[in-house]
A = this chain, B = another copy of it.
Amino acid sequence: MNKVQLFNQIQKKRSFLCVGLDPVMELIPEHLLEFENPVLEFNRQIIDATQDLCVAYKPNTAFYECLGLKGWETLQKTKAYIPESLFTIADAKRGDIGNTSNMYAKAFLSEAGEMNFDSITVAPYMGKDSVTPFLGFQDKWVILLALTSNKGHEDFQLLKHDDEFIFEHVLKVSSSWTTDEQMMYVVGATHPESFQKIRSIVPNHFLLVPGVGAQGGDLQSVCKYGLNSKCGLLINAGRSIIFASKGKDFAEKARAEALKLQVEMDLILSAAGL
């Protein structure tokens, strides 16, 4: 999916919500345990209940890998179940030397592969040749970690080089490797104060923003400085939506949570004339 198509979906659905599909076996509603693959059934029902309210789905590979071979299969089948009009993000945080990153790119982005995601999250520590192999696919995206939502962001992302934070160098340096048609950045909702500076460095890039909801980030604060003329934001909510209820009504409750965010997003888009 290219940038124009993504913005079109946002305008059509009046939403820039991304739903994090990170199932935890212990939190799957009991009545689903009778299915041959409870996690897949859970994901399917979440997707059915939310797909008109969001523009993207983001399964984090960790939650599938910890289920072994069956988990990997569930990830593939979950991806395959997501309608093509939705933007798909493999939240894999990969990155390795060039020829190895090539293999990851093939695994997650290749149209000939079993996954065929629209995008993948990548860690920047190993530099340019660890990232560029993911850029060789038309209308597919790298979403590079910049300023993450967790406490540990303080350890290295906030070290300073020449009076600028390391994460700011990551934005500056990496944005020269390709255009805003192939690169997005992860910026946690837990740092609303940083969005103004970030937008001065990457005014046109889409930002994937986790940390709204369970992690405490606030949608209005993020949008105040994060929104740009093509929206430029994908706000991820995971646990607050998919685990809104552990009962038979889990999908209904997930929809209700997604709807709350979509309604708020509609107002934000309208106020911005988008």
- A residues whose Cβ falls under 8 Å from a Cβ of B: 22, 60, 62-63, 65-66, 68-69, 71-73, 76, 93-98, 100-101, 103-104, 106-108, 113-115, 123-131, 145, 148-157, 159-161, 166, 169-170, 173
Contacts and interface: CB of A to CB of B under 8 A. Distances in A.
Top 4 nearest A-B pairs (CB, nearest first) are A127-B152, A127-B155, A62-B103, A68-B114
B126 A63 contact: no
A260 to B, nearest CB: 23
Contact of A150 (B63, B71, B127): B127
B166 A159 contact: yes
What is the oligomeric copy number? 2
Contacts of A104: 62, 65-66
B113 A127 contact: no
A124 B125 contact: yes
A113 B62 CA distance: 13
Nearest to A150: B97
Contact of A96 (B62, B98, B100): B62
Given A125-B157, A156-B166, 20 more contacts: A60-B100, A60-B103, A62-B94, A62-B100, A62-B107, A63-B100, A63-B103, A66-B103, A66-B106, A71-B107, A72-B72, A93-B95, A123-B125, A123-B126, A124-B125, A125-B148, A126-B148, A127-B150, A159-B166, A159-B169
Contacts of A160: 161
A156 B125 contact: yes
Nearest to A68: B114
Contacts of A94: 62, 93
Contacts of A96: 60, 62, 93
The interface centre, meaning the residue of A76, A106, A126, A161 with most chain B CB atoms within 10 A of its CB, is A126
A215 to B, nearest CB: 8
Given A124-B125, A127-B150, A152-B127, A76 B66 contact: no
